[in-house]
Amino acid sequence: MTDLLNIPVTLNQGTESSLADIAPNSLILLVNTASECGLTPQYRGLQKLQETYGARGFTVLGAPCNQFNGQEPGTDQQIANFCALTYAISFPLLAKIDVNGESAHPLYRELTQVEDADGEAGDVAWNFEKFLISPDGDVIERIRPRVEPTSFEMTKLIEANLPR
């Protein structure tokens, strides 16, 4: 697998970066997000995770995506405003990307090769699919969309892998 931490990404405000620069030496929870989805309230739980574990080397990273029933139709600025005003999000967001298909971002081309707990790899199933990435760039776990961010399963997984 390619070095995930150094694949170029663009942040919501247009800055070119990489996971290594966004969250150096951190456990990263990368989540494809959408503002008009039935799972959108998961932003609340993602923000709670950021507040709870951020000082311990953990970062949530949102990856807005409009590939699932057009549920993220806004511009990067509109998405940032929605997240700030509706959920008081403090974690970083990428510029809107594709996670599946020919136009999938290179980061997601790599991530979709990873199997979930049931041994299933392939396309991202829906909004709010999660990938827990170690500070070394290894994918620790692929978590399907309906798993709530603050569930026991998630918090146990995060706590077991915090770098500090």
Measuring CA to CA, which residue among 82, 102, 101 is closest to residue 93? 82
Residue 113: CB atoms within 10 A of its CB come to: 13
Active-site residue among 20, 37, 87, 150?
A: 37
Cα gap 155→79, rounded to integer Å: 26
* Residue 75 and residue 48 in contact, taking contact as beta carbons nearer than 8 Å: no
- Active-site annotation holds for 37: yes
Catalytic sites, residue numbers: 37
